[in-house]
Chain A
Amino acid sequence: MRILLGIGGADDSLQALARTVERAVEAGDELTVAIIDEGGTERSVEEIESAVTETLEENGVDAEIRYVAGDPGSKLVDVAESEGYDRIVLGGGTTSPMGKIQLGSTAEFVLLNSHVSVTLVR
Chain B
Amino acid sequence: MSRNRRYPDEIAGPFESPPITFEDRDGREIDIRAHDGSDEEYEALASMYDAFDPADRAQGIPPSEERRIREWLDNILCAECLNVVAWDGQTAAGHATLVPDGDAYELAIFVLQAYQEAGIGTHLMKGLLGYGAESGVEKVWLTVERWNKAAVGLYKKIGFEVSDSESFEMEMGIRLSDGSDEGG
**CA gap between A95 and B68 in the complex, in Å:** 14
| Shortest CB distance B67–A (Å) | 14
- The answer to whether residues A108 and B168 also contact, given A98-B76, A98-B97 and a CB cut-off of 8 A, is yes
Pairwise interchain contact B168-A97, C-beta atoms closer than 8 A: no
Pairwise interchain contact A102-B59, C-beta atoms closer than 8 A: yes
Q: Does B112 have its Cβ within 8 Å of any Cβ on chain A?
A: no
Q: Does A10 have its Cβ within 8 Å of any Cβ on chain B?
A: yes
| In the complex, residue of chain B having the shortest beta-carbon distance to the beta carbon of A104 | B1
Q: Which interface residue of A41, A99, A108 has the most chain B CB atoms within 10 A?
A: A99
* B 41-63 to A, binary, CB cutoff 8 A, 1 in contact else 0: 00000000000000000111101
When distances are taken between beta carbons in the complex, the residues of chain A under 8 Å from B58 are 100
| Shortest CB distance A38–B (Å) | 10
When distances are taken between beta carbons in the complex, the residues of chain B under 8 Å from A98 are 61, 76, 97, 99, 106-108
Pairwise interchain contact B167-A105, C-beta atoms closer than 8 A: yes
| Shortest CB distance B35–A (Å) | 15
When distances are taken between beta carbons in the complex, the residues of chain A under 8 Å from B61 are 98-100
| Shortest CB distance B66–A (Å) | 16
Q: How large is the interface on B (under 10, 10 to 19, 20 to 34, 35 or more residues)?
A: 20 to 34
CB contacts under 8 Å to B, within A56-110, are 94-103, 105, 108
- The answer to whether residues A94 and B1 also contact, given A99-B61, A100-B58, A103-B168 and a CB cut-off of 8 A, is yes
Pairwise interchain contact A99-B76, C-beta atoms closer than 8 A: yes
When distances are taken between beta carbons in the complex, the residues of chain B under 8 Å from A40 are 3
| Shortest CB distance B113–A (Å) | 20
Q: Does B22 have its Cβ within 8 Å of any Cβ on chain A?
A: no
When distances are taken between beta carbons in the complex, the residues of chain A under 8 Å from B143 are 96, 100, 102
Pairwise interchain contact B1-A102, C-beta atoms closer than 8 A: yes
| In the complex, residue of chain A having the shortest beta-carbon distance to the beta carbon of B105 | A97
Pairwise interchain contact B1-A100, C-beta atoms closer than 8 A: no
* B 100-121 to A, binary, CB cutoff 8 A, 1 in contact else 0: 1100001110000000000000
Q: Which interface residue of B1, B58, B97, B101 has the most chain A CB atoms within 10 A?
A: B1
CB contacts under 8 Å to B, within A29-71, are 40-41
When distances are taken between beta carbons in the complex, the residues of chain B under 8 Å from A41 are 1
Select one of A97, A101, A103, A105 contacting B106, CB under 8 A.
A97
When distances are taken between beta carbons in the complex, the residues of chain A under 8 Å from B60 are 95, 99-101
Shortest 9 CB-CB contacts between residues of A and residues of B: A100-B59, A101-B60, A97-B101, A97-B99, A98-B106, A101-B59, A97-B106, A98-B99, A98-B108
Name 4 extra pairs, CB < 8 A, besides A99-B76, A103-B167: A41-B1, A98-B97, A99-B75, A105-B166
* B interface residues (Cβ-Cβ under 8 A, vs A): 1, 3, 58-61, 63, 72, 75-76, 97, 99-101, 106-108, 143, 166-169
8 A–B contacts from the bound complex (CB under 8 Å):
A98-B61, A98-B107, A99-B60, A99-B63, A100-B59, A102-B1, A102-B143, A103-B168
